[in-house]
Amino acid sequence: MVKKTSDLVFPSSPGNMPMYDLSVIDIESLWTIHNTHDPGIIKTDEGYYVFSTDIRVGGELRPGVMVRKSQDLIHWEWVHYALPGIPQVAKEWAGATNLWAPDVVKYGEQYRMYYSASSFGSRQSLIGLQTSASIEGPWTDEGVVIQTRAEDSLNAIDANVLTDADGRMWMVYGSFFGGIHIIELNAETGKPKQEGIGTLIAKRDNTIKDGAVEGPYIVYNEQFKKYYLFVSYDSLFEDYNVRVARADTITGPYVDYNGRDMTDSAHQPRYEVGNKILGGYRFGQDPGWIAPGHNSVLHEDGSYYIVHHARGEIDKHWSYLQVRRILWTEDGWPVVSPERYAGEVEQDIPEQLIAGQWEWIVMDPSADGQIQSAVISLSSDFKLEGANGKGSWSFDGCRVLTLVWNDVVEGEGRIEKVQLLPSWDWEKETQTLVFTGLNENGISIWGKQKNGEENR
């Protein structure tokens, strides 16, 4: 059956969301997506809530864990600070001046907020626990979950708590020094069942940006029976990027598309370990984004969303909340939409909409900083031409587009299998098609149609 263009549903305009807005610097109630860093998301009966690190552009920083909420994952409103300040135990142990990377989960009728307290570059850190009967508090201090000293080999920050497929509760945590660990929790107390630091599941060589791997988050996909570990690599100010690996059991080993273990810090070249699914980018001449990362993941009714922060290219001091759809390849790998979420839904695409010019991005794992898009052309007679040479394209009649580069500089073919998604172009403020997927080497491929509006 031929699909009609009129059957396709694109998201509507999300409205104006100004950036670098100096008028809201001192008005917390207007921050919406502004001043968001290390967002942790939770779905409740009252809506979606994001808890995030205490940061601020301009003015005096107030600590206490920032809280925002939304009914649609698009429009966010400020709630308050979860806590009146820094818990006493965090002050005494870590000398913290703000709180980092909160993660909130619900157990029974109780909400549990795991927060991190440290200072930049220090291993004198702790993960603390606060509990509440309400998502908006008030919160009760439950003390320390795990802590590390300056002389320890690992760093107790960036907690993510989850329950595995067998009903056991775990906490994955860690940053830079000593890598990422996972430890089992007592479900009733929300604290470790046994002493120790748990199992190492990801690590980088310390000669690479101090072993920069942090912000772990694990999700289980029932369809593929796999656990997926998301982490962020490199500098949070310059070249942050999100990597993914998967495992059959929650404690690993976590391996990437090419079978490389996330604990293999000796692999050469070192930047290859982990599927890079999100990094700095720019479409065309429009201002892009720098250092997206430190994500959480929302799973709701079979749909997955990555929730992260990113810095605007024009002024990287401004950090913003972003939500993007996650799609899944047929062999069970997550890939991320090139555009922020605006209400789009996965649906079959009419073939006649595909031909045209596209902005094409290869999410090169070796690239530092932003990746600039290049233009490729898909002709109506199924030919492909652009920055990578020439080739052909095919379509499965539903959502999957295959690009085959036959005439490339190196003389080797390259196959890119991507999924189409009707989206909102935040840069051009119009509806358009995008695609996301992987090439035969497991490298993420993005595309955004340049002339999509003309085809509809």
Does 296 share its domain with 365? Answer: no
Across the range 372-387, mean pLDDT stands at: 96
Burial of 199 (0-12, 13-18, 19+ CB in 10 A): middle
CATH number, domain containing residue 152: 2.115.10.20
Note the Cα 165 to chain centre separation in Å. Answer: 22
Is 22 inside a domain boundary? no
Q: Which of 38, 103, 234, 416 is catalytic?
A: 38
Is 6 inside a domain boundary? no
pLDDT at 210: 66
Q: Are 346 and 54 in contact (CB under 8 A)?
A: no
C-alpha span between 366 and 369 (Å, rounded): 10
Among candidate residues 306, 336, 366, the one where a domain is terminated: 336
pLDDT at 413: 59
| Nearest CA-CA partner of 101 in 131, 135, 65 | 65
pLDDT at 2: 40
Q: Are 417 and 400 in contact (CB under 8 A)?
A: yes
Q: What is the percentage of the chain residues whose pLDDT exceeds 70?
A: 96
pLDDT tops 70 at residue 4: no
pLDDT at 398: 97
Task: Specify the DSSP class assigned to residue 92.
Answer: H
- Specify whether 26 is catalytic: no
pLDDT tens digits for 82-125?
Answer: 999 999 999 999 999 999 999 999 999 999 999 999 998 899 99
Task: Specify the DSSP class assigned to residue 232.
Answer: E
Task: Specify the DSSP class assigned to residue 167.
Answer: S
User: How many structural domains does the chain have?
Assistant: 2
Is 150 inside a domain boundary? yes
pLDDT tops 80 at residue 453: no
Residue carrying the six token digits 């909340």: 321
Q: Are 185 and 127 in contact (CB under 8 A)?
A: no
Task: Specify the DSSP class assigned to residue 88.
Answer: H
CATH number, domain containing residue 395: 2.40.128.10
Does 180 share its domain with 41? Answer: yes
Query: Under 8 Å CB-to-CB from 442, ≥6 apart: which residues?
Result: 256, 257, 258, 275, 333
Is 16 inside a domain boundary? no
pLDDT at 101: 98
Q: How confident is the model at residue 456 (pLDDT cuts 50, 70, 90)?
A: very low
Is 344 inside a domain boundary? no
Does 141 share its domain with 56? Answer: yes
Query: Cα-atom radius of gyration of the chain, to the nearest Å?
Result: 22
Q: Which of 54, 103, 214, 344 is catalytic?
A: 214
C-alpha span between 324 and 442 (Å, rounded): 20
Q: Are 285 and 2 in contact (CB under 8 A)?
A: no
Does 326 share its domain with 380? Answer: no
pLDDT tens digits for 175-219?
Answer: 888 999 999 999 999 999 999 999 999 999 877 766 799 999 999
pLDDT tens digits for 60-71?
Answer: 999 999 999 999
Is 341 inside a domain boundary? no
Does 309 share its domain with 395? Answer: no
Note the Cα 60 to chain centre separation in Å. Answer: 28
Is 295 inside a domain boundary? yes
Is 151 inside a domain boundary? yes
Q: Are 306 and 242 in contact (CB under 8 A)?
A: yes
Question: CA 47 → CA 69, 71, 76, distances in Å?
Answer: 7, 5, 11
Domain that holds residue 401: 351-455
Does 243 share its domain with 310? Answer: yes
Mean pLDDT of the chain: 94
Does 356 share its domain with 330? Answer: no
- Specify whether 38 is catalytic: yes
CA angle 260, 263, 268 (to 5 degrees): 55
More confident residue, 409 or 136: 136
Task: Specify the DSSP class assigned to residue 73.
Answer: S
Q: Are 295 and 230 in contact (CB under 8 A)?
A: yes
Q: How confident is the model at residue 268 (pLDDT cuts 50, 70, 90)?
A: confident
